[in-house]
Copies of this chain bind each other. A is one copy, B any other.
């Protein structure tokens, strides 16, 4: 199976309003609740691709219970979340019905105790034994040491399991130094890591910092990958309009499934770009539109970059 780690899992709540007006009162017409956090989105996409997948991380409180209930109802994802005393955070996405634009509010997440972190590490070590690959995704909840991802990368490497890291800031900086198989920053995360806003040299710089491969997501322009086998750009055949939330998580699912299936880099990148595009075309994170996926997959343009 593929293991995904979401230390700061979330209950993703969607509110639909006719139009967001700052400092006004809004009657919410529809409330949607979904299990969320980047690693859980990745797990749901991997399951939809037919890969056996296990999701771990923390879940606690009423929102954590609801995340687990909703996860149990979504087919193909094995729940290996570790209980915590604090309450799993909610994210609230307020969607303007007219424009489709989203205003997002993200709670900080539960405070994780040293005992809970130790319990997670033990569970993670057990799960690695059965994993073909692992994705470490998203922010760290309060209380988890900032070097957490470096510890998890090292444990995966020691177990011989390839690891993809998708996070930001100091957690990314420290995680990269532990030499993960792949990182997947977006342009802003890459600039923060390297100090450069020029994607190609910054992507190469990030590789020199320790990652075996760096796949930078360029939003609607696709992906830019620097690997030991070469450097590529992969671009969708056309711009897709829709909700970009979760597009990066779908790219991670594409890269990781491609790695496990032994695809070469151009094919992995084409799959990742097509899944991203199909997620933009779908209404919610952790979902993709299968027709768009099939349609785009064959026409992603992958070119060698100099």
Contacts and interface: CB of A to CB of B under 8 A. Distances in A.
A17 interface: yes
Interface stretch (A52-60, A98-106, A154-162): A98-106
Contact of A26 (B25, B66, B101, B104): B104
- Report the copy number of this chain in the oligomer: 2
A106 B62 contact: no
Interface in A78-122: 92, 94, 96, 101-108
Nearest to A100: B23
B105 A26 contact: yes
Nearest to A108: B28
Given A62-B63, A63-B62, A66-B62, A108 B22 contact: no
A291 interface: no
Contacts of A106: 25-28
Contact of A28 (B96, B103, B105): B105
A102 B23 CA distance: 5
Contact of A105 (B17, B23, B102): B17
Interface residues of A, number: 28
| Candidate in A17, A24, A92 with the most chain B CB atoms within 10 angstroms | A92
Given A22-B20, A103-B22, A29 B62 contact: no
A96 B22 CA distance: 10
A106 B17 CA distance: 10
Contacts of A31: 107-108
Contacts of A108: 27-29, 31
Nearest to A31: B107
Contacts of A62: 62-63, 65-66
A105 B26 CA distance: 5
A181 to B, nearest CB: 28
Given A20-B22, A22-B101, A28-B105, 7 more contacts: A21-B103, A25-B104, A26-B103, A26-B105, A29-B108, A31-B107, A92-B92
11 contacts: A15-B105, A20-B23, A21-B103, A22-B22, A23-B96, A23-B102, A25-B103, A26-B104, A26-B105, A28-B106, A28-B107
Interface of A: 15, 17, 20-29, 31, 62-63, 65-66, 92, 94, 96, 101-108
